[in-house]
Chains A and B, each alone.
Chain A
Amino acid sequence: MRGWSSGYAPARRGGSYRHYDPSGSPPENVCARVVIGLPAGRASASRAERESATGDVTLRDSSSPRGQAQRRTRRSTVLTLAAASTLAACSDVGQNALDPAGPFAQAPHDLIIPVAILALVVFVLVQGLVIYTSWRFRQKPGDDALPAQVHGNTKLEIVWTIIPALILAVIAVPTVRGIFELSTEPDGDHLVVEVVGHRWWFEFYYPEHDIYTANELVIPAETPVRLEMTSGDPSRQVSDAVIHSFWIPQLAGKQDIEPGRTTTLNIQADEPGRYLGMCAEFCGLSHANMRIRAVAKTSAEFDAWVEAQTTPAAEPTGELATRGRDLFGDLGDRQACASCHQVWEDGSRSPSQAPDLTHLMSRSEFAGAIHDLTEENLRAWLRDPGSMKAMSYELDGIGMPNLDLSEDEIDALVAYLMTLE
């Protein structure tokens, strides 16, 4: 039906989408397995495993007093079944909006907790009233007399108009204050990062340091970061510009990214760590495959990262990698990698149509952060990108085309890409 629908086969998705290497056996999800015996074999690597693999990330200490207190609060606000809330407490975090990790996520959280408690009280009262009324005033067998024909009660009407209105008025005050506080630019020293939403990946530009990177937003911990966001870039590709939404729940609520406008969002991570997020506004075919990671580093680690990123890509050594570099710039009558991707070697930097690959291997995931950046995955990606991420290159030029690379060419290109550290 569509040219690109044959480009990726759903079957390849099954089993291990994230872990292309079938020999890798991801750890089972203990929490879920104990409770209901979920088939856990399909679950991808847990966060802990990925973090230990990347090495430079510290797990936030969930046994700290603050972490425990948060979990207690969280449990008390759960609106669903008691059993379900117990399960929530043993969750392996993911991108949990109930577990803020910085001031811009904490403020909305502190606002919603009292409202949730209030809503819970109203819920119990109203449902209790409904159940009590239903039970108490049910018709008893043999009782056919009509009840008293009451038509209403003005005093009651006034009471249940005024009381909810007062409750809402009380809630409204901190809400409005919160709206204004969260929208202002942070005081003092903060980092500015420009975010561009593309289909289907995020581009990050650090104007202060002239750094381009993709998918992984590296930030210093304990420092406010101001994101200035827009979508697509008409000068690069018109049809790319659609609405996205930037959302890393532990760092801040979401903010839409709109073409033709710049929106802003404050985020901050109080502790070093790796925070997960996703595009939260439907943006077409591969919307589900447009993930974000914020990697918060200590200030020393962050400075080291900036130092590395502002260094041009090194000249590859070795025959294979050198051949790969040549192929990167020239694939004969096929479109060259370099026509969309940039590897910065000298001169000034500029944005490219597809993710900047200058320091590709400093990142741990690729393809919208849905695949671990391993040699096997890279190889599979070059062989047939459409099999690893749904894209519509043939239809509307969005995504990466299949370049019909030979195995030799793939070997050379992968060897080259692996040098881009």
Chain B
Amino acid sequence: MSSTTETRTFRPSSGRGPLSWLGTTDHKRIGILYFWTTLAFFTLGGAESWAIRLQLAQAESSVISEEIYNQVFTMHGLTMVFLVVMPMSAAFFNYLIPLMIGARDVAFPRLNAFSYWVYLFGGIFLYSSFFLGGAPAGAWVGYAPLSTGVAQNMGFYAVGLQLLGVSSLAAAVNFIVTILNMRAPGMTFMRMPVFIWMSLVTNFLLLFAMPIIAVALFMLQFDTLFGAQFFQPATGGDPLLYQHLFWLFGHPEVYIMVLPAMGIVSEILPVGSRKPLFGYAAVVFAGAAIGFIGFGVWAHHMFTTSLGPVPRSAFALTTMFIAVPTGIKIFNWVFTMWGGKIRFTTPMLFSVGFVSMFTIGGLSGVTHAIVPHNAQQHDTYYVVAHFHYVLFGGALFGLIAGMYFWFPKVTGKLMNERLGKWHFWTWLLGFNLTFGPMHMSGLLGQPRRTAVLPAELGGSVELYNLLSTIGVGVLTVSALVFLANLLTSLRSGAPAGDDPWDARTLEWLTASPPAHHNFDTVPTVTERDEFWHRKYAESEDGSMVAVPSGASDGGADDDAEDEHIHMPDASLWPFLACLGLFPFAYGLVFVNPPVIVAGLLWFVIGLFGWIHEPLAEGDDDPVDADTAADHTH
């Protein structure tokens, strides 16, 4: 272990300087990195939605050309799915999973850093396409054989999404292992917070879904860049193969985006209602059921393709079936509030907004399953309305609820409630004004992905489009209110204390913000909602009474000597290794073998350094004499 001192010289210390972020392996700091990065990409995605809505505000208008419009709507979809909603969930996974299960970090801290850097670099790579011959313009689904054409710039799509997929896969393995292996003593599966359950399901979905799109993207990349013929019918390829692969990933992907928000809302509604979650087991199993059935509905995205009537019928039935577990969740959420004493704080408002808006998306989803009429709805603005009610009214409302809810834990400060309420009501108004009218414009015949709003669709379609554009204006104002709230609260928010909401789960047991090692003593769990039960006990007549301070038996070890806590070391290697992905990816897109090899070599050398990096602090565990002897020989 003599090399320890030498390596420490170039390794970032656990200090707090700006450079320390490059080498951090602290799950909380990585979560914060994820958060700000997604906010930056959200701004870009929002700017793209402005370009789309300005173009469609009036019939036959030409604010931007078809060429630019097609790039912009493609990038809007890619950004919001892969660079905003998914990594925003990852921000919550990172920050909360160890805290909620009573662990000190994730299972593989350096792999965690690796996931973040691949995500960031993948996003930068994708966006650099705007300056390198044009952004991808083949829609976010990238249907072949159109996407293999030179005019669609889909090289960046194939390689960029592949990188983001690697990031998600690595993170999925990490979180699954963390949840399965690192729960605090006594936290059985049925004592896990619902957010942890939904995280587990989501990460299993990622684990099984990402390899499928990886295959599709490899094939697309080979068709696009190297002239393979997987999807070219003229030479025996099959365009429909791409769609099957894409949606076999793409439908679970919908649940990958929504389940974390469902988990967040399942944590906030009980706290806001001061009651436990209604039907914990039902909510958990419904979530798991959604995960399973989610792999069996993919072809409902393909009802208008050359599928015959038998698969159309089969997928209509599974699609209807998946509405059942979703309905179970919605009713359980409402009955969590029923009989409660609801405090409408901002996180609670967003959670109720989630339940309400997601229901609308669910109902329009059921109408998609009516296959004969799906042929009228498919690829129109009716579908655009539907999936924005699911992903914006659903996922994003839930994630924003989570931001307000856990901001005090992350910063030790409260967000401004008055601004928060302004944010919520303008957000709700702007959202419905933007996407509500799209139901109508779609049914009145407006197809999606058209660079022009044809005047021949009629005056009411034009009116609905104008309303949508005005809605984006309201949303923008609302987002600025949120940003102002976020920044001012960061600087000068009121002190929050450790448990501002009278919450139920373990993360509120520790300090706000939590120390580097999260818990001085790892808590022993005896109940679901462990922290709540440490605060309240049941009286003789069955009602809950507060436990006097210091009387809790949960902190039996509190007097124990603060032993040396072993925390993961900081490491620059994940960052350094990931830098090699830039030449690798650009080499692939521009088909330049020497650059590809150089990037790959850089990456492998980075991994080599990573593997051989010794522990900075030395190993605290007593070294077994025999093992040590084996090593020396």
Q: List the A residue with the shortest CB-CB distance to B365.
A: A119
The verdict on B27 contacting chain A, using a C-beta distance below 8 Å, is no
Give a binary string over B60-90; 1 marks a CB under 8 Å from any A CB, 0 the rest.
1111111100100000000000000000000
Binds A, one of B13-21, B394-402, B404-412, B459-467: B459-467
| Inter-chain contact B337/A137, CB cutoff 8 Å | yes
For chain B, residues 287 to 342, give those with C-beta under 8 angstroms from any C-beta of chain A.
304-306, 308-309, 312-313, 316-317, 320-321, 323-324, 327-328, 330-332, 334-335, 337-342
Using A32-B462, A260-B239 as known contacts, say yes or no to A44 and B278 having CB atoms under 8 A apart: no
CA A139 to CA B337, docked complex, whole Å: 11
The verdict on B445 contacting chain A, using a C-beta distance below 8 Å, is yes
Q: List the A residue with the shortest CB-CB distance to B308.
A: A183
Residues of B within 8 A of A129 (CB): 334
Residues of A within 8 A of B449 (CB): 282, 287
| Inter-chain contact B370/A111, CB cutoff 8 Å | yes
Residues of B within 8 A of A234 (CB): 233-234
CA A35 to CA B459, docked complex, whole Å: 10
| Inter-chain contact B143/A282, CB cutoff 8 Å | yes
Residues of A within 8 A of B444 (CB): 88, 91, 94-98
Residues of A within 8 A of B536 (CB): 146
Q: List the A residue with the shortest CB-CB distance to B360.
A: A123
| Inter-chain contact A157/B367, CB cutoff 8 Å | no
Residues of B within 8 A of A80 (CB): 436-437, 439-440
Name the distance in Å between B82's Cβ and chain A's nearest Cβ. 19
| Inter-chain contact A390/B456, CB cutoff 8 Å | no
Give a binary string over A321-343; 1 marks a CB under 8 Å from any B CB, 0 the rest.
00000000000000000000000
The verdict on A1 contacting chain B, using a C-beta distance below 8 Å, is yes
Residues of B within 8 A of A153 (CB): 278-279, 335
Q: List the B residue with the shortest CB-CB distance to A130.
A: B356
**Majority secondary structure of chain B interface residues (helix, strand, loop or mixed):** helix
Number of interface residues of A (CB under 8 A): 126
| Inter-chain contact B462/A280, CB cutoff 8 Å | no
Residues of B within 8 A of A276 (CB): 445, 456
The verdict on A8 contacting chain B, using a C-beta distance below 8 Å, is yes
| Inter-chain contact B66/A94, CB cutoff 8 Å | no
| Inter-chain contact B360/A241, CB cutoff 8 Å | no
Using A137-B342, A179-B313 as known contacts, say yes or no to A122 and B363 having CB atoms under 8 A apart: yes
Using A96-B445, A161-B324 as known contacts, say yes or no to A87 and B62 having CB atoms under 8 A apart: no
Residues of A within 8 A of B102 (CB): none
| Inter-chain contact B335/A156, CB cutoff 8 Å | yes
Q: List the A residue with the shortest CB-CB distance to B305.
A: A256
Q: Which of A33, A161, A168 has the most CB of B within 10 A?
A: A168
The verdict on B359 contacting chain A, using a C-beta distance below 8 Å, is yes
| Inter-chain contact B463/A278, CB cutoff 8 Å | no
Give a binary string over B438-476; 1 marks a CB under 8 Å from any A CB, 0 the rest.
011001110111111011111111111010000000000
Name the distance in Å between A360's Cβ and chain B's nearest Cβ. 21
Name the distance in Å between B15's Cβ and chain A's nearest Cβ. 44
Using A91-B444, A109-B373, A178-B371 as known contacts, say yes or no to A18 and B462 having CB atoms under 8 A apart: no
| Inter-chain contact A171/B320, CB cutoff 8 Å | yes
CA A238 to CA B379, docked complex, whole Å: 26
The verdict on B343 contacting chain A, using a C-beta distance below 8 Å, is yes
Residues of B within 8 A of A36 (CB): 463, 466
CA A139 to CA B502, docked complex, whole Å: 14
| Inter-chain contact A278/B447, CB cutoff 8 Å | yes
| Inter-chain contact B459/A31, CB cutoff 8 Å | yes
Contact of A137 among B338, B378, B437, B466 (CB under 8 A): B338
| Inter-chain contact B372/A108, CB cutoff 8 Å | yes
| Inter-chain contact B134/A1, CB cutoff 8 Å | yes
| Inter-chain contact B304/A254, CB cutoff 8 Å | yes
| Inter-chain contact B454/A291, CB cutoff 8 Å | yes
CA A47 to CA B363, docked complex, whole Å: 34
Using A31-B459, A81-B436 as known contacts, say yes or no to A147 and B328 having CB atoms under 8 A apart: no
The verdict on A192 contacting chain B, using a C-beta distance below 8 Å, is no
The verdict on A10 contacting chain B, using a C-beta distance below 8 Å, is yes
The verdict on A2 contacting chain B, using a C-beta distance below 8 Å, is yes
The verdict on A66 contacting chain B, using a C-beta distance below 8 Å, is no
Name the distance in Å between B303's Cβ and chain A's nearest Cβ. 9
| Inter-chain contact B459/A29, CB cutoff 8 Å | yes
Name the distance in Å between B447's Cβ and chain A's nearest Cβ. 5
Name the distance in Å between B465's Cβ and chain A's nearest Cβ. 10
Q: List the B residue with the shortest CB-CB distance to A80.
A: B436
Contact of A91 among B59, B60, B459 (CB under 8 A): B459
For chain A, residues 94 to 136, give those with C-beta under 8 angstroms from any C-beta of chain B.
94-98, 105, 107-109, 111-112, 115-116, 119, 122-123, 126-127, 129-130, 133-134
CA A140 to CA B308, docked complex, whole Å: 58
Binds B, one of A245-253, A351-359, A411-419: A245-253
The verdict on A176 contacting chain B, using a C-beta distance below 8 Å, is yes
| Inter-chain contact A390/B306, CB cutoff 8 Å | no
Binds A, one of B34-42, B268-276, B565-573: B268-276
Residues of B within 8 A of A407 (CB): none
Give a binary string over B510-543; 1 marks a CB under 8 Å from any A CB, 0 the rest.
0000000000000000000000000010100001
Q: List the A residue with the shortest CB-CB distance to B438.
A: A80
| Inter-chain contact A126/B146, CB cutoff 8 Å | no
Residues of B within 8 A of A33 (CB): 459
Using A284-B151, A288-B66 as known contacts, say yes or no to A95 and B457 having CB atoms under 8 A apart: yes
Residues of A within 8 A of B344 (CB): 134, 138
CA A140 to CA B453, docked complex, whole Å: 50
CA A171 to CA B369, docked complex, whole Å: 9
Contact of A97 among B58, B133, B376 (CB under 8 A): B376
| Inter-chain contact A143/B341, CB cutoff 8 Å | yes
| Inter-chain contact B334/A147, CB cutoff 8 Å | no
CA A178 to CA B454, docked complex, whole Å: 31
CA A160 to CA B328, docked complex, whole Å: 6
CA A165 to CA B139, docked complex, whole Å: 35
CA A58 to CA B452, docked complex, whole Å: 28
Name the distance in Å between A143's Cβ and chain B's nearest Cβ. 6
Contact of B280 among A8, A90, A151 (CB under 8 A): A151
Q: List the A residue with the shortest CB-CB distance to B330.
A: A126
For chain B, residues 410 to 444, give those with C-beta under 8 angstroms from any C-beta of chain A.
436-437, 439-440, 443-444
| Inter-chain contact B65/A146, CB cutoff 8 Å | no
The verdict on A377 contacting chain B, using a C-beta distance below 8 Å, is no
Contact of B437 among A84, A107, A263 (CB under 8 A): A84
Contact of A42 among B59, B437, B463 (CB under 8 A): B59
Using A175-B370, A263-B306 as known contacts, say yes or no to A84 and B464 having CB atoms under 8 A apart: yes
Name the distance in Å between A95's Cβ and chain B's nearest Cβ. 3
| Inter-chain contact A119/B463, CB cutoff 8 Å | no
Q: Which of B276, B308, B331, B360 has the most CB of A within 10 A?
A: B331
**B→A interface (CB under 8 Å):** 58-67, 70, 133-134, 137-139, 143, 145-146, 149-152, 233-234, 238-240, 273-276, 278-282, 304-306, 308-309, 312-313, 316-317, 320-321, 323-324, 327-328, 330-332, 334-335, 337-344, 352, 355-356, 359-360, 363-364, 366-367, 369-380, 436-437, 439-440, 443-445, 447-452, 454-464, 466, 536, 538, 543-544
Between-chain CB contacts (< 8 Å), 27 pairs = A2-B133, A13-B60, A31-B458, A32-B463, A43-B455, A44-B456, A88-B444, A92-B458, A98-B444, A129-B334, A134-B352, A138-B342, A139-B343, A156-B335, A175-B313, A238-B234, A242-B145, A253-B304, A253-B372, A260-B238, A261-B306, A280-B379, A282-B448, A283-B146, A291-B456, A390-B67, A398-B151
Leading 10 A-B pairs by shortest Cβ distance: A253-B375, A260-B233, A32-B459, A13-B62, A95-B445, A288-B450, A94-B458, A108-B372, A234-B234, A91-B460
